[in-house]
């Protein structure tokens, strides 16, 4: 069976670990060449590049902080120069600090918005410009979160940023339909990534996973395979949509039990 993304070039932000890593590898498995963006942990980015090359695809690691507009512009230019085209852009990079709004540090709020909201804007805008210039359509996928749907406590700035990029995606989808550029969003649920271990132990994560209706936390590949679908011709007639990939997490949310007298 032919690979769905044969001959395509993808740019994936935050692709050295977590969801970005899983997405980059899934795209490569389906035939895409990939620019692997990273800000820190260069060795992890190099390892992702090697894994993509083992699959027979081209890969390029590119260090850039997506919060820095000039760095994102240079990265997209670098992808064009190296690969000659950009067919797929996956805006995945995000950052957050968990505190209640009344206790939030302003520098953390600013960094969250700069990466999680403005970084997505920069990535999508510069990639879309190149796609429009080329005139052969394209696929833009924003990795958002169920935080855009539910006001999870201690995540005020992150919730706000994710809700914002979801609406950005719908706006861009409306504007870019004439250019046959699909713009869609994935809202992951609770995904098993290295970042989760900053806030919880392995035992706590396993226990939490069993509370999700699907009885496990999501994986990087669960999201990566969903990105592949939206980046392929199979999703040609889908734009401005949000795909929730959460194993039923949102369906399983319940109100706290009330003490009875």
Buried b (16+ CB within 10 A) or exposed e, 67-84: bbbebbeebbeebbeebe
Q: Specify if 261 maps to a domain.
A: no
Q: Specify if 148 maps to a domain.
A: yes
Q: Specify if 145 maps to a domain.
A: yes
Q: Residue 57's pLDDT is what?
A: 98
Q: Specify if 260 maps to a domain.
A: no
- Residue 88, beta-bridge partner list: 10, 139
pLDDT per position as a tens digit, 111-154:
999 999 999 999 999 999 999 999 999 999 999 999 999 999 99
Phi, psi of 248 (to 5 degrees): 85, 10
- Other beta carbons within 10 angstroms of residue 170's beta carbon come to 16
Backbone angle region of 240, left / alpha / beta, with phi > 0 → left and psi within -120 to 50 → alpha = left
- CATH number of the structural domain spanning residue 86: 3.40.50.720
Q: Residue 205's pLDDT is what?
A: 87
Q: Report the number of distinct structural domains present in the chain.
A: 1
Q: Specify if 130 maps to a domain.
A: yes
Summarize the confidence of residues 21-49 as an average pLDDT.
98
Cβ–Cβ < 8 Å for 82, 9 = no
Q: Specify if 62 maps to a domain.
A: yes
Q: Specify if 3 maps to a domain.
A: no
Res. 217: pLDDT tops 60: yes
Q: Residue 253's pLDDT is what?
A: 87
Domain range enclosing 106: 9-251
Phi, psi of 89 (to 5 degrees): -125, 125
From the list 208, 210, 14, the residue with the least C-alpha distance to 94 is 14
Res. 74: pLDDT tops 70: yes
Active site amino acids? 158
pTM: 0.95
Query: Where does the pLDDT of residue 255 fall: very low under 50, low under 70, confident under 90, or very high at 90 and above?
Result: low
Q: Specify if 34 maps to a domain.
A: yes
Q: Which residue has the higher pLDDT, 194 or 118?
A: 118
Res. 52: pLDDT tops 90: yes
């Amino acid at each position: 069976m032919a690979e769905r993304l044969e001959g395509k070039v993808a740019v994936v932000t935050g692709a050295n670990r977590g969801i970005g890593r899983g997405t980059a590898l899934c795209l490569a498995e389906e035939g895409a060449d990939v620019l692997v963006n990273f800000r820190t942990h260069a060795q992890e980015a190099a390892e992702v590049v090697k894994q993509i090359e083992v699959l027979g695809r081209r890969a390029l690691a590119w260090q850039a902080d997506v919060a820095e507009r000039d760095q994102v512009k240079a990265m997209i230019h670098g992808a064009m120069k190296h690969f000659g085209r950009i067919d797929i852009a996956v805006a995945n990079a995000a950052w957050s600090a968990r505190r209640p709004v009344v206790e939030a540090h302003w520098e953390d709020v600013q960094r969250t918005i700069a990466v999680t909201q403005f970084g997505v804007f920069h990535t999508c805008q510069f990639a879309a410009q190149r796609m429009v210039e080329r005139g052969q359509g394209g696929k833009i996928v924003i990795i958002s979160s169920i935080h855009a749907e539910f006001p999870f406590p201690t995540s005020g700035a992150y919730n706000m940023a994710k809700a914002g990029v979801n609406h950005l995606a719908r706006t861009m989808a409306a504007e870019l339909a004439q250019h046959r550029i699909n713009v869609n969003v994935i809202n992951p649920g609770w995904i098993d990534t290295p970042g989760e271990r900053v806030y919880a132990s392995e035992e706590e994560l396993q226990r939490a996973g069993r509370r999700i209706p699907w009885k496990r936390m999501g994986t990087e590949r669960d999201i990566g395979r969903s990105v592949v679908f939206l980046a392929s011709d199979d999703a040609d007639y889908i734009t401005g949509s949000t795909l929730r990939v959460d194993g039923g997490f949102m369906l399983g949310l319940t109100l706290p039990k009330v003490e009875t007298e």
